[in-house]
């Protein structure tokens, strides 16, 4: 299913969320200790109340937050339909191969599709706040992954000190400063404005964020005789409309 569906192939983060959901439903999963300590709620827009969205009125973040809500809802509905089609064909293939041993109670137990939006929202939020790119084992391209323990470090201003060791196939992290026993260890999330930190990590770094900026959208009047020239000036300045 994952290898043939166009949406899953084009959205690695969605595919990672599906894998997380499957592992979370497996009581014998190798990743069970990690999954059990993941947060159950987040402070990103997917968990916002209506009053939280109202508080964003006048900010360009509001539009991005609403897009996130709609896109996640659409992905959930798409995945629900995909699972129904998948289990439909799997179920009838099973009937053809072992009809004599199939009973209705057995079918209800093993072929029931049970994926709530709350579960899907949780998995998407885990991935959204913790996903990291690592090189593929083939050495060609990148893939998304969750990195237990490391992904629980909070953000502080500094520099990126985490790198992937291709020889040992491990992610290596060096502390940005000296820490004493019991101190919290921070990492640098990258040069991200507070708007991105709020949308995808659920916090803002305040005035201490020297990379903070505001994205403003402008449009050109097509009836303006200088619109073509203005578009060229914007393009030469690497600004998009």
> What is the full per-residue pLDDT of the chain (241 aa) written as tens digits?
555 777 777 889 999 999 999 899 889 999 999 999 999 999 999 999 999 999 999 898 999 999 999 999 999 999 888 877 655 444 444 434 444 444 444 334 444 456 899 999 999 999 999 998 888 777 778 888 999 989 999 999 999 998 888 888 888 888 888 889 999 999 999 999 999 999 999 999 988 899 999 877 778 888 888 888 888 888 887 777 6
Residue 82 CA to residue 8 CA, distance in Å, equals 10
Torsion from C-alpha of 76, 42, 62, 186, nearest 10 degrees: -130
If you compute the radius of gyration of the chain from its CA atoms, what whole number of angstroms results? 23
Domains and CATH numbers, the chain: 6-141 (3.90.1410.10)
Residue count of the chain, please give it: 241
Q: Are 200 and 44 in contact (CB under 8 A)?
A: yes
Residue 12 CA to residue 147 CA, distance in Å, equals 16
Q: What phi and psi values does residue 166 have, to the nearest 5 degrees?
A: -70, -25
Residue with tokens 């060609």: 140
CA dist list (Å): 25 to 62, 114, 134: 34, 10, 25
According to DSSP, the residues that pair with 133 across neighbouring strands are 144
């Amino acid at each position: 299913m994952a290898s043939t569906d166009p949406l899953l192939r084009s959205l690695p983060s969605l595919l990672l969320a599906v894998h997380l959901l499957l592992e979370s439903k497996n009581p014998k999963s190798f990743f069970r200790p990690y999954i059990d300590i993941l947060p159950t709620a987040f402070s990103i827009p997917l968990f916002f109340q209506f009053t939280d969205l109202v508080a964003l009125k006048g900010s360009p973040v509001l539009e991005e937050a609403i897009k996130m809500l709609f896109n996640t809802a659409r992905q959930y509905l798409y995945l629900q339909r995909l699972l129904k089609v998948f289990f439909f064909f799997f179920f009838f293939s099973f009937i053809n191969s072992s009809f004599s041993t199939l009973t209705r109670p057995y079918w209800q137990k093993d072929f029931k599709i049970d994926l709530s939006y709350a579960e899907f929202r949780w998995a998407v939020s885990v991935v959204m706040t913790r996903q990291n790119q690592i090189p593929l084992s083939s050495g060609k391209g990148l893939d998304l992954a969750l990195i237990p323990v490391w992904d629980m470090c909070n953000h502080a201003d500094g520099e990126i000190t985490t790198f992937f060791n291709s020889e040992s196939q491990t992610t290596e992290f060096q502390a940005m400063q000296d820490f004493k026993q019991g101190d919290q260890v921070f990492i640098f999330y990258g040069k991200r404005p507070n708007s991105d930190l709020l949308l995808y990590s659920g916090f803002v770094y305040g005035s201490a964020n020297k990379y903070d900026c505001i994205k403003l959208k402008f449009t050109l009047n097509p009836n303006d005789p200088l619109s073509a020239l203005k578009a060229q000036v914007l393009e030469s300045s690497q600004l998009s409309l």
